[in-house]
Structure 1
Amino acid sequence: MALAIVAPNKSEKELNAWKGIFLELAPDINLQIYPDIQDNALVEVVVLWQHPKNILKEFPNLKLICSMGSGVDHIMSDYVPENIPITRIIDPRLTFSMTNYVVMGILNYHRQFKRYLENKKSKTWDMTQPEIPISVGVMGVGELGGDVLDKVNALGFPCYGYGNSPKNDFRYPYYHGEELQEFLDQVNIVVCLLPLTPKTEGFLNATLFKKFKQGTYLINVARGMHLVEEDLIPAINSGQVSGALLDVFRKEPLEKNHPFWEQEEIMVTPHIASITNYKAAAPQIIANYRNLINQRPLLNEVSTDQGY
């Protein structure tokens, strides 16, 4: 039995770090790293990140698929053998980093940091309206979205949640499904933390932007495929969207000729809102490897029906 890591976009340094932690914590595991897999038939567990399409067809005895991070859309959008469980990583540090990033974006907008950077360049001393009143809405209120709401609430801002499914006794005002317009009417900052599923792909589009309050600010830290990129700049030019902080894109790295680079109202960061910590992730994968062998329940198993 072997465990294979298939993450061709990871650097040699990153893969060596993963190899090192496996050797330290579980030297008994037969670890293989793509593309240097000795025998595909021995592989019963795979760990995936941005893997080649249809790679899972090459492992005839596969019994478990593990995401290297918290997201599983890269797996669910590809061929997955029937009845093979999928797990993901849950890491408090990942939540910590994601929340801090989103709060940073919210506060920069609230206190108009971009405006003061521009004023510094022009040596302009302008004390008028130092704060933009804000009300924050988070779309996708799982572990990450819930933590963002907690921190935003602790700062004293009104906050609201939205998701695809109803939630009983949610700790903040919550809307779901067809209540989208009611949700959007409450907020002027929208944070996207939705899971990527067939229902949510392209969710951030021209139709949605028209439902925004005039001048709503957008933060997308979920997946690049949530945003119909060609719809954003027209929405900004019309004033329906005041600007955006984007950490994820349909194609990464963002191409040098992409118009987002030149749009002043769009802040671009290179998918760094939160990064999987291999020291936190590897023990969860190792635990699930052993759970599989011993026929125990898996940690952080994904619902294949819901896609997350």
Structure 2
Amino acid sequence: MRIAIVYSSAKSGAWRDALAAELPDAQVDIWQPGYTHAVDFAVGWAPPPQFFAEQPRLRAFLSVGAGVENILSNPKLPAELPIVRVEDAGMGEQMADYCRYEVLRWMQRRDEYAAQQAAALWRPLPAAWRAEWPVGIFGLGVLGRKVATAFASDGFPVNAFSRSNSVGEPNVRLFSEARGVDQFEAFMRATRVLMIFAPLTPETRNKFDRKALQMLPRGAYVINVARGALIVDEALLELLDSGHLHGAALDVFHEEPLPRQHRYWTHPKVSVTPHIAAVTPIVPAARQMAAKIQQLVNDQPITGIVERSRGY
């Protein structure tokens, strides 16, 4: 069995070594242009069209990231080739911590206290309580579900919006597109901190435009750890400028790296991080992928297969 790592990153060697350790009987190579071997499975992200054109024997492509839009949009992607997502592997816990930090920073007014410290000003501000800070999880997949559970366990009121009538989590109020067109607006109006976890699909692209974001209560906040294109930047900035929204923590953007001239860099209500809310841990993810490859070899069912019609 031959496996190719198709990942234009300095981490490709680490992925090769980790996967080879899990599958010692397999030949694991790093794919580069000019590679002539036929492979059975590939692991990576955003493969070039050339790769698929040269690999007629390929049985499955396993993505090292949760998002797969850069694979599905490949013009040479074979119509019947299974695409398999990594499922959590430690990313959910990272995202929960990322969101916890931002919510607690806002709730405890730490930026205001930092400004008071700079001015040598001793002035206690009104206390905040978790019951007053309902969070809203948009996208109840593996990662969104993990964060919803974490915040519910922390004592926050948790709302979650799902496309389907999925099974809810304990202490999570579920809103579902399947239950009616009014569910999205009800979800937004019940939420003080919107957290975006949905995949990028034709249905979710620009989902959070001015009309949608204005459904949030005045003084609400936005956290986006999914994909930048789910938010209309101009709408978010307009509502931050007007005071309708009090803050945003953004880890993903329409264009990455974020252009130096973009207003997000200097906006006083925006926190920018460079797509680091959840970094795929190589060793546990390689272990998961190796298990799935072995199951596929043995004609056993696996989880994480992308439904192309849905885009995730």
Q: What TM-score do you get using the length of structure 1 for normalisation? A: 0.91
Judged with a 3 Å threshold, the aligned counterparts in structure 2 of structure 1 residues 261 and 55 are, in CA distance, closer, same or farther, namely same
Measured on the aligned residues, the alpha-carbon RMSD in Å equals 2.0
Q: 1:94 aligns with which of 85, 91, 95?
A: 91
Corresponding residue for residue 112 of structure 1: 109
Q: How far apart, in 1, do the equivalents of 2:302 and 2:153 lie?
A: 34
Q: State the Cα deviation string for residues 44-63 of structure 1 (Å, max 9, x = none).
A: 32222133356423322222
Corresponding residue for residue 205 of structure 1: 209
Judged with a 3 Å threshold, the aligned counterparts in structure 2 of structure 1 residues 54 and 305 are, in CA distance, closer, same or farther, namely farther
Corresponding residue for residue 261 of structure 1: 265
- 2:301 matched to 1:297? yes
Corresponding residue for residue 61 of structure 1: 57
Judged with a 3 Å threshold, the aligned counterparts in structure 2 of structure 1 residues 190 and 285 are, in CA distance, closer, same or farther, namely same
Corresponding residue for residue 19 of structure 1: 16
Q: 1:124 aligns with which of 114, 121, 143?
A: 121
Q: How far apart, in 1, do the equivalents of 2:261 and 2:204 lie?
A: 27
- 2:226 matched to 1:227? no
Runs of 4+ in 1 over 6 A off after TM superposition: none
Corresponding residue for residue 6 of structure 2: 6
Corresponding residue for residue 142 of structure 2: 143
Which stretches in structure 2 are left out of the alignment for 5+ residues?
none
Q: How far apart, in 2, do the equivalents of 1:176 and 1:136 lie?
A: 16
Please report how far the alpha carbon of residue 294 of structure 1 lies from its aligned counterpart in structure 2 after TM superposition.
2.4
Please report how far the alpha carbon of residue 23 of structure 1 lies from its aligned counterpart in structure 2 after TM superposition.
3.1
Q: How far apart, in 1, do the equivalents of 2:51 and 2:120 lie?
A: 56
Question: Equivalent residues in 2 for 1:137-216 (5 A)?
Answer: 137-168=136-167, 170-171=169-170, 172-177=172-177, 178=181, 179-216=183-220
Q: How far apart, in 1, do the equivalents of 2:139 and 2:246 lie?
A: 22
Corresponding residue for residue 237 of structure 1: 241
Q: How far apart, in 2, do the equivalents of 1:51 and 1:224 lie?
A: 21
- 2:67 matched to 1:71? yes
| Counterpart residue type for residue 78 of structure 1 | N
Q: How far apart, in 2, do the equivalents of 1:212 and 1:169 lie?
A: 22
Please report how far the alpha carbon of residue 169 of structure 1 lies from its aligned counterpart in structure 2 after TM superposition.
5.1
Please report how far the alpha carbon of residue 35 of structure 1 lies from its aligned counterpart in structure 2 after TM superposition.
1.2
Q: How far apart, in 2, do the equivalents of 1:54 and 1:224 lie?
A: 27
Q: How far apart, in 2, do the equivalents of 1:165 and 1:158 lie?
A: 21
Q: State the Cα deviation string for residues 129-156 of structure 1 (Å, max 9, x = none).
A: 2437311111112222222222222222
Q: How far apart, in 1, do the equivalents of 2:168 and 2:252 lie?
A: 31
SS of equivalent to 1:211: coil
Q: What TM-score do you get using the length of structure 2 for normalisation? A: 0.90
- Taking only the aligned residue pairs, the percentage that are identical comes to 30
Corresponding residue for residue 28 of structure 1: 25
Please report how far the alpha carbon of residue 292 of structure 1 lies from its aligned counterpart in structure 2 after TM superposition.
2.7
| Counterpart residue type for residue 186 of structure 2 | E
Q: Mean alpha-carbon deviation: is it higher for 273-282 or for 25-34?
A: 25-34
8 Å contact kept, 2:88–2:143: no
| Counterpart residue type for residue 157 of structure 1 | F
Judged with a 3 Å threshold, the aligned counterparts in structure 2 of structure 1 residues 170 and 293 are, in CA distance, closer, same or farther, namely closer
Judged with a 3 Å threshold, the aligned counterparts in structure 2 of structure 1 residues 239 and 64 are, in CA distance, closer, same or farther, namely same
Q: How far apart, in 1, do the equivalents of 2:232 and 2:6 lie?
A: 29
